[in-house]
């Protein structure tokens, strides 16, 4: 097996990419929804969201629910019932883009 780097590399923040991939492959045969909606992961993503908002100067509501945002993204028919082990690179890139669009960051 020969592994080659993509040229040019995808336009993505690699620390955030690494965080998402590590999180999703922690339990690779579980669905994306079941991996992301655990209490420790929700707490971590909420802290990341607040940190990112403070660094960019955005103000978040006090009653912000990360679970609702995660459900909104994961209930898209493209992600329902999907498992990390069955996704390809383009799927991961589009999932990361959707999360970033909603304000969820993994780094």
Cα–Cα distances (Å) from 87 to 44, 55, 84, in that order, read: 23, 31, 5
Q: What is the pLDDT of residue 33?
A: 92
DSSP state of 91: H
Cβ–Cβ under 8 Å, residues 99 and 52: no
If DSSP codes are grouped into helix, strand and coil, which group holds residue 31?
strand
Please tell me the distance from the alpha carbon of residue 53 to that of residue 1, in angstroms, as a whole number. 42
pTM: 0.85
User: Which of left, alpha, beta for 81 (phi over 0: left; psi -120 to 50: alpha)?
Assistant: left
Q: What is the pLDDT of residue 41?
A: 92
Q: Which residue has the tokens 């609702």?
A: 68
Confidence of residue 15 (pLDDT cuts 50, 70, 90): very high
pLDDT digits (tens, 9 = 90+) for 45-103: 999 988 888 888 888 777 778 899 999 999 989 899 999 999 998 899 999 999 999 88
């Amino acid at each position: 097996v020969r592994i080659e780097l993509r040229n040019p590399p995808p336009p993505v923040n690699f620390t955030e990419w690494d965080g998402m991939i590590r999180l999703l492959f922690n339990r690779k045969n579980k669905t994306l929804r079941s991996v992301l909606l655990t209490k420790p992961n929700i707490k971590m993503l909420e802290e990341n969201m607040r940190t990112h908002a403070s660094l960019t100067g955005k103000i978040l509501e006090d009653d912000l629910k990360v679970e609702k945002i995660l459900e909104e993204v994961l209930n898209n028919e493209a992600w329902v019932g999907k498992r990390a082990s069955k996704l390809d690179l383009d799927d991961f890139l589009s999932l990361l883009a959707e999360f970033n669009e909603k304000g969820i960051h993994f780094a």
